[in-house]
Amino acid sequence: MINKAILDSISNAVVTVPGVASFANYAAKSESELKTEDIAKAVEMVSTDTMDRVKVHIILINGVNIRDVVSEVQIRVKYELEKLSQFVRNYIVDIAVDDLIVV
């Protein structure tokens, strides 16, 4: 179970990035289950003594520059997590684009 403060920080960082449509459920079995408002279903985390690796699953709006949006999400999430831990822990942030939607 991932700490609620960590999930909230990730959520707040991601929702402010233009081009992100929603979070994606990484355990979805069908396309209808993919879009989720529950961030706990969109974040995977592996921790060691000195480092945390976070993988955030998102859905982007079709037509955005994927590289720019993913880079921005990655930078913001990493910064917010390190700020939350008062820059004592190192985070590796991976972003998975699970789908593109047309709006």
CA neighbor of 14 nearest in space, from 93, 85, 90: 93
Helices 66-84, 4-15: axis angle to 10 degrees equals 140
Region 49-76: mean pLDDT is 95
Q: Model confidence over 12-57: pLDDT tens digits?
A: 999 999 999 999 999 999 999 999 999 999 999 999 887 899 999 9
Question: How many residues are given for the chain?
Answer: 103
Residue linked to tokens 């402010």: 16
What token pair was written down for 7? Answer: 């999930």
Does 103 score more than 90 pLDDT?
Answer: no
Task: Read off the pTM.
Answer: 0.94
Q: Are 40 and 59 in contact (CB under 8 A)?
A: no
Domains, the chain: 4-101 (3.30.70.1350)
